[in-house]
Amino acid sequence: MQTQQPNNNNIGNNKNKPSRFNPIMWIYFPLLALLMFMWFNGTGVGDPIKTEWYKVKEEMIPQGDVEKILFVTNTHEAEVTIKQDSVKKYKNLFGGREPKVGPHFFFGVSESFNPEQQFEEARASLPADKKFEIVTEKKANYWGILDWIIFPLLLFGLWFFMIRKMTKGIGGGAGGGGGIFNVGKSQARLFDKDNNTKVTFKDVAGLEEAKVEVMEIVDFLRNPKKYTALGGKIPKGALLVGPPGTGKTLLAKAVAGEADVPFFSISGSDFVEMFVGVGASRVRDLFKQAKEKAPCIVFIDEIDAVGRARSKNGGFSSNDERENTLNQLLTEMDGFGTNSGVIILAATNRADILDKALMRAGRFDRQINVDLPELKEREEIFDVHLRKLKLSKDFDKTFLAKQTPGFSGADIANVCNEAALIAARRNKESIEKQDFLDAIDRIIGGLEKRSKIISPEEKRTIAFHEAGHATVSWLLPNANPLLKVTIIPRGRALGAAWYLPEERQITTTEQMMDEMAATMGGRAAEEIINGRISTGALSDLEKITKQAYAMVSYFGMSEKIGHISFYDSQDAGYNFNKPYSEKTAELIDAEAKELINRAHEKAIEVLNANMAGFTELAELLLSREVIFSEDMERIFGPRAKKAGQEETISNEESDNKDN
């Protein structure tokens, strides 16, 4: 149902702007790097290590290592410069390096210290080749000024530049103004007359009931006086509920396109940020913009990100950021006037976890269900997605619709695209029926793995396992009849079976029991043929276990338990107590086990009664690797159909897994 539309999210906001080159940066960074090198590596003045006069007098001078001693009169300090060929002796004091520029050491002297006399006495005791230079002067410490003023200023400048760049995009959203002061601005994307999505109801296939519901909203936005003159009130909000991929977002865009009014689009996750109070601020800004653009539509996709029930957040805090955002959203939605011209649309696939205050009348007045498409709707969706494809002559679109029960609009779009890729891979000039069938098989069952190494014994077990599923499902009247079985590995499964279930809304106990027996057909076949069981039926067992417990505890299909259901549609998974006693729990376990045993016995009974056909089917599967419903009909005869039964196709993977 969903068609790919041009991405106009940033239309009118982000233009192709030429990047601005700042040549100052090429000077700033090298200068800063040089200063930092001088700071940390000590290649400039002010790097000498502090020492004492007695060490200089007794260790350095006698060894002839001193080149010069400079006495600074105004600081009462003496600086010692070591000869270049003697610096290596003291490299351990400099962290393993050898400074090339002196002075290397310094020491302080008291006022009573007579430097000229002390230095001259030390020099006089040395031979001529070890004598050093004595210098006395007064100097200003200009480097100290650079060290403690200029350098910190440069670091602050770098920090300011980096913060400005990092926060430029915060709060700006897609094409937003950016900047840390815009963090509370709404990130909603605006579609108006200048940059509309151009999506109409013609682009939305199926969803006829949902279209009727939203058409009233469109009509109100076009002709508001028609309703206000009679005293009527248009719903303030409508909630689109349905599984993923059914076209909820596309329907909202179509509403905006049909109404020809501004359309604000935002995701629920866009409200929540790491900063406290940002979500509530963005909600306020969004609705402020909406009032200025009225009449308009505000669409919040995946509203469950912020609209989750406050008692089901999973945390123990009642004042977190999500709740603040939700509270602000509730306030803004309730604050609109009757005729403000602002309509709120929202979409979610988890309506059961939304806060009750959000769902009340006056906020979301209507809940529009967007369900999976039926047969006729799937045919319409295929019409939309097949427009751009090059199909073979006499292509049957109705056939494809029958092959895809339970598929959403997004799934159908994927099937069409995958079929085109498969046809191109086979160097075809047009897409044929088989390409679509292969695309459906690949999407549902996974890619074929013909290179997977399987021993002959394992292959035989898999063949009888799949033949067991096929035989039981074909012979039981209420089970889903078979379309195709393969023992070619697909995905994680070592074999797969495709069935033809009827599209029904309710299921009886007899139908569920026959389906369980068909599911147990693989395990029963292994027991009959091999006399032992394997891990290949893991997913089969998982499926029937869930089904059996659902029959007992949810659907009230157990005589001992009675007409009781322990299903809670509002449960978000945080209840730590079972809604029944331990005695009832034991009874539920026993009843579920009894149902599974009955299904298992029924599968064994069917296989034993039709052993010849079952064995022939397994041998045929071993030799051909793939069998179809025609082979089943040839071996077991035609399958009796119920009145009004509609043959459509679904898939059920066999569950032979490598465990």
Contact 49, 82 (CB under 8 A): no
Q: What is the CA radius of gyration of the chain?
A: 40
Q: What is the DSSP string of 211-274?
A: HHHHHHHHHHHH-THHHHTTT----SEEEEE-STTSSHHHHHHHHHHHHTS-EEEEEGGGG--S
Q: How far apart are CA 371 and CA 244, in angstroms?
A: 10
CA distance 146 to 121: 37
Alpha-carbon distance of 213 to 548, in angstroms, equals 38
Write the DSSP assignment of 423-434 as a string of letters: HHHTT-SSB-HH
Report which secondary-structure segment, H or E, holds 78: strand 77-82
Q: How many other CB atoms sit within 10 Å of the CB of residue 253? A: 25
Residue 268 to residue 302: CA distance in whole angstroms = 5
How does DSSP assign 181-219, residue by residue? GGTTS--PEEE-SSS-----GGG--S-HHHHHHHHHHHH
CA nearest neighbour of 334 among 365, 374, 313? 365
Neighbours of 323 (CB within 10 A): 19
Polymer length of the chain: 659
Residue 98 designated active-site: no
**Hey, how many other C-beta atoms are within 10 angstroms of the C-beta on 598?**
15
Question: Which element (helix H / strand E) includes 145?
Answer: helix 142-145
Give the closest residue to 242 by CA, choosing from 250, 232, 234. 250
Distances (CA, A) of 367 to 58, 332, 336, 344, 413: 94, 19, 19, 12, 26
Buried b (16+ CB within 10 A) or exposed e, 45-60: bebbeebebeebbeeb
Nearest in space to 346 (alpha carbons), one of 173, 217, 175, 260:
217
CB-CB contact of 645 with 504 (8 Å):
no
Marked catalytic residue, from 466, 502, 591, 653: 466
Provide the b/e sequence for 262-298 (b: ≥16 CB within 10 Å).
Answer: bbbbbbbebbbbeeeebbbbbbbbbbebbbebbbbbb
DSSP assignment of 360-387 equals STTTS-EEEE-PPP-HHHHHHHHHHHTT
- Comparing CA positions, the residue from 210, 207, 500, 211 lying closest to residue 381 is 207
Phi-psi group of 523: left, alpha or beta (phi > 0 → left; psi -120 to 50 → alpha; rest → beta): alpha
Contact yes or no for 542/536 (Cβ under 8 A): no
Residue positions annotated with a catalytic role: 466
